[in-house]
Amino acid sequence: MLDSYVQAELAALLPPSALLTAPEDTRPYECDGLTLFRERPAAVALPETEAQVAGILRVCHAARVPVVARGAGTSLSGGALPDRNGLVLSMAKFRRILAIDALARTAVVQPGVRNLAISEAAAAHGLYYAPDPSSQIACSIGGNVAENAGGVHCLKYGLTVHNVRRVRALLVNGDAVEFGGASLDSAGYDLLALVNGSEGLLAVITEITVKLLPKPQHAQVALAAFDDVEKAGAAVGAIIGAGIIPAGLEMMDQPATRAVEEFVHAGYPLDAAAVLLVESDGTIEEVGDEMAEIRRLLTESGATSIRVSRDERERLLLWSGRKAAFPAVGRISPDYYCIDGTIPRKALPLVLRRTAEWSKEFGLACANVFHAGDGNLHPLILFDANREGEIERTIAFGDRILGLCIEVGGTVTGEHGVGVEKLSAMCAQFAPDELERFHGVKAAFDPSGLLNPGKAVPTLARCAEFGRMHVHHGELRHPDLPRF
Amino acid sequence: MTDPAIEALQATVRRAAATRASLRIVGGGTKEFYGASLSGETLDVRAVTGVVDYDPTELVITARAGTPLDAIEATMRAAGQMLGFEPPRFGAGGTLGGAIASGLSGPRRPYAGAARDFVLGVGVVDGTGRALSFGGRVMKNVAGFDVARLMTGAMGTLGVITEVSLKCLPRPHAEATRLFELSADESIARVNEWGGQPLPLSATCFHQGLLAVRLSGAPSAVASARAKLGGSELEGADALWSSVRDHRHAFFASAASAAAPLWRLSVASTAPYTDLGGEQLIEWGGALRWLAAGARTDAAKVRTWAQAQGGHATLFRAAAKPVEVFHPLPSTLAALHKRLKATFDPHGILNPGRLSAAF
């Protein structure tokens, strides 16, 4: 519950329909895409102008009310999980594309604009917005910036941080500030890079300028089957070693392949231990040459079958399986939990082998989809929340995979963010001195700690309590402790 | 895995912190002309050297900050790879740490990305002497704030960079440079139009009525783009691009003289050509304008123009620096800068004044 005077001040800023406080109205905001964690906020505000957002922030700042900014609510790490004493600041009404400059290849958009809507609007100019997280039909660009979202094409075209020119935002006290500009760099520290992936802890984004790219003339995808996961991994190394940066490079293991084939009937080989999807884009001549080389390298690496798309319909069909991997797994299991670690690609065989062992140990099935080009692994742990103890076993299994990601030199989150989900894992990845600097960055922007409190960076107290084996930069901090 | 060279560096920083003595961080010393004041005891980073890890098929290289850029690029070239941001070198002996601390990028920047876009992780010693590590050695990593990119271009004011991990790019299989006789305005319009088409552009440079456009990529893509663009072929174009990158081009030679300060104007790529009282060389598809100031050049007007064009102006190289080197920040941003500086360098001992007179 908000104090009545705070509620009255907020009500004075907004039309009645834009301030929700009744439990039945705030319930839809109690979680985001990570449904394992839920919390009812004290209130939800749905402003539609920057002046209203500034007013809300000033009221909350003065009254020390926590504020959790929320876009489309598709976060997979609980980044938009409400604070029970706080306000959810929904940016859903900021859905206008303000300008598209075809010559400069930029679009100025409000944060609630859907990712895909930008590309749709830019299509008339032969342009598109490159980052394409799998939730792109629903997720909003403000959330993409907050999480530094990736997608299947980021090896070649980069993450959100590489495709955003300018962010306009409000600080916790309501002051407006701009990071970046129309130019390719700006004076002073690179605060534009810092705000990307800051998970709503530093400022509330109100406007974004994104970079648009010319749509490639042509694209083709190859689907290759392997009887062994290591061979598939070696094929990825061979392609990159040959100087090719594919537009997309994805791997799925057998459980994932079987789940998606049952769902989309794309003709994926069910007997393969792993399949690779390799996409080439560019001019017609370029794609022709590159695809011939890719086919040769796949064959040399021991692919048991290779199918190259002959037209756009077939290309989309071959991709449909990968893009439907999460819902497909959702069909074969009552619940699933998506892990998001990144590893050096050479560690893939080890990580998959251990994951398979732990799958048996925990009695939980696991399907793997992998952004193979950039090392971002998404094990999907299958579980049933209604079965006694399965949630706890699932989380323990996931933590163990993330621990291994750190141990092999990787990271606990490649693209989904820390949110509330990976706070403990952060204790394992960073030393106290480093976490302290993160808190310093937070305090530089938000000294009162009101913006999305308790997310992204664990408190040192939490880490001490967590007291787990501390693997840091591949070194064991406490080598005397028994290892799992 | 401790490195005695890094430990020595930490000890120096700790000593300086205890006595509040300023440190001036130096690698190859090739960019001493860049930035505001230099003061304090020299902290030489060159002993922190060597490639730590490089597996070309992972597309990642990790090296200590004092490693010479030349050595890194030779190692990568042998594996058919390169640094995608084409870092400039303004003399022999420039280091990786200097390239990242200055954050400067060469001709390929608008098409491949800037130094900060390739940085995956850094090791730093902060202003209290603590060795910290941010980011990592993998391509995709959103754990924690992006301090690695924050350090890029911070001119050493937030920490002494000791190690850098970078994404690598394959060297293009083919390159060609086309020349066009055009006015400055025509040239700006043309490079922006081409930028919106699926062409393998990798650099542009306009100077004295001549536009040079570099194409890089698969041989077939370069060949078809060449036919499409027209123009005439520039043979031996590498010499042009490296001279533009490293400021050995005739335009920069005159600008380096005491009489003509060199301004760097980073603006919207479509900003119209504007006479600012000197000669200009235009790179980055229109987004970077170098101005060799003339007698009529007015610093305040230069700054006003750059800001109106969505960007900023840096007094890049000058015998005398009567105005702030870097574009003044609005007060809210300046306050954030000061607080970030205090977080990483609470005693204000690392390269004080180099980025801003305020810290």
Average pLDDT over residues A332-353: 92
Report the CATH fold assignment for A4-90. 3.30.43
pLDDT of residue A480: 37
- B-interface mutation test, from A100, A185, A463, most B Cβ less than 10 A away: A185
Beta bridge partners of A366: A381
Question: Would the CATH topology of A218-326 be identical to that of A333-407?
Answer: yes
A161 neighbourhood in chain B, CB within 8 Å = 117, 146, 149
pLDDT of residue B257: 64
Which CATH class, in words, describes the domain spanning A98-214? alpha beta
Expressed in percent and rounded to 5, the helix, strand and coil fractions of chain B are: 30, 25, 40
pLDDT of residue B1: 52
Q: Which of A155, A193, A282 sits opposite B146 (nearest CB)?
A: A193
Q: Indicate whether A279 pLDDT > 80.
A: yes
Q: Indicate whether A481 pLDDT > 60.
A: no
In 3-state terms, what secondary structure has residue B142? coil
Give CA–CA dist A102/B192, Å, rounded.
9
Q: Which of B140, B169, B220 sits opposite A414 (nearest CB)?
A: B140
Nearest chain B residue to A174 by CA distance is B332
Which ranges in chain B belong to alpha helices (H)?
4-19, 69-78, 96-102, 109-112, 115-118, 147-151, 184-195, 219-229, 237-245, 250-255, 299-308, 331-344
Could you say which DSSP state residue B202 is in?
E
For domain A218-326, which CATH number applies: 2.60.40.1180, 3.30.450.20, 3.30.70.2190, 3.40.50.10800? 3.30.70.2190
pLDDT of residue A145: 98
Instruction: Flag if B144 and A158 touch (Cβ within 8 Å).
Output: no
Mean of the per-residue pLDDT values of chain A: 93
pLDDT in tens, A321-339: 888 888 899 889 999 999 9
Domain ranges of chain A: 4-90, 98-214, 218-326, 333-407, 423-469
pLDDT in tens, A419-441: 999 999 999 999 999 999 999 99
Report the CATH fold assignment for A333-407. Alpha-Beta Plaits (3.30.70)
Could you say which DSSP state residue A124 is in?
G
- Of B169, B168, B156, B164, nearest to B51 (Cα)? B164
Instruction: Flag if A437 and B126 touch (Cβ within 8 Å).
Output: yes
Give CA–CA dist A54/A169, Å, rounded.
10
pLDDT of residue A289: 92
Give CA–CA dist B219/B190, Å, rounded.
23
In 3-state terms, what secondary structure has residue A480? coil
Give CA–CA dist A26/A84, Å, rounded.
11
CA distance B198 to chain A (A): 5
Taking a C-beta distance cutoff of 8 angstroms, is the pair A189, B340 a contact? Answer: yes
Q: Please, which residues 166-185 of chain A have a Cβ atom closer than 8 Å to chain B? A: 171, 175-178, 181-185
Which ranges in A265-389 belong to alpha helices (H)?
284-300, 312-323, 325-332, 348-362
In 3-state terms, what secondary structure has residue A169? strand
Residues of chain B where predicted confidence (pLDDT) is lower than 50 = none
Instruction: Flag if B218 and A473 touch (Cβ within 8 Å).
Output: no
Taking CA atoms, B129 is separated from B17, B73, B110, B159, B165, in Å, by 8, 30, 36, 9, 21
Average pLDDT over residues A385-403: 93
pLDDT of residue B67: 98
Q: Indicate whether A472 pLDDT > 50.
A: no
pLDDT of residue A470: 42
Q: Which residue has the higher pLDDT, A136 or B61?
A: B61
Tokens found for residue B189? 């319009």
Q: Please, which residues 379-418 of chain A have a Cβ atom closer than 8 Å to chain B? A: 409-418
The interface predicted TM-score of the complex, written ipTM, equals 0.97
**Burial class of residue B275, CB neighbours in 10 A (0-12, 13-18, 19+):** exposed
pLDDT of residue A467: 64
pLDDT in tens, A283-300: 888 899 999 999 999 999
Count the neighbouring beta carbons within 10 Å of the beta carbon of residue B200: 23
Give CA–CA dist A365/A1, Å, rounded.
42
Banded model confidence at residue A38, pLDDT cuts 50, 70, 90: very high
Q: Which of B270, B311, B355 sits opposite A181 (nearest CB)?
A: B311
The set of residues, in sequence order, having a beta carbon less than 8 Å from that of B179 and lying 6+ positions away, is B210, B211, B212, B213, B231, B232, B233, B234
Instruction: Flag if B116 and A417 touch (Cβ within 8 Å).
Output: no
- E strands present in B30-77: 41-44, 51-55, 60-64
Q: How many Cβ contacts (< 8 angstroms) between chains A and B?
A: 271
pLDDT of residue B260: 84
Instruction: Flag if A342 and B141 touch (Cβ within 8 Å).
Output: yes
A197 neighbourhood in chain B, CB within 8 Å = 142, 145-146
Q: Indicate whether A47 pLDDT > 50.
A: yes
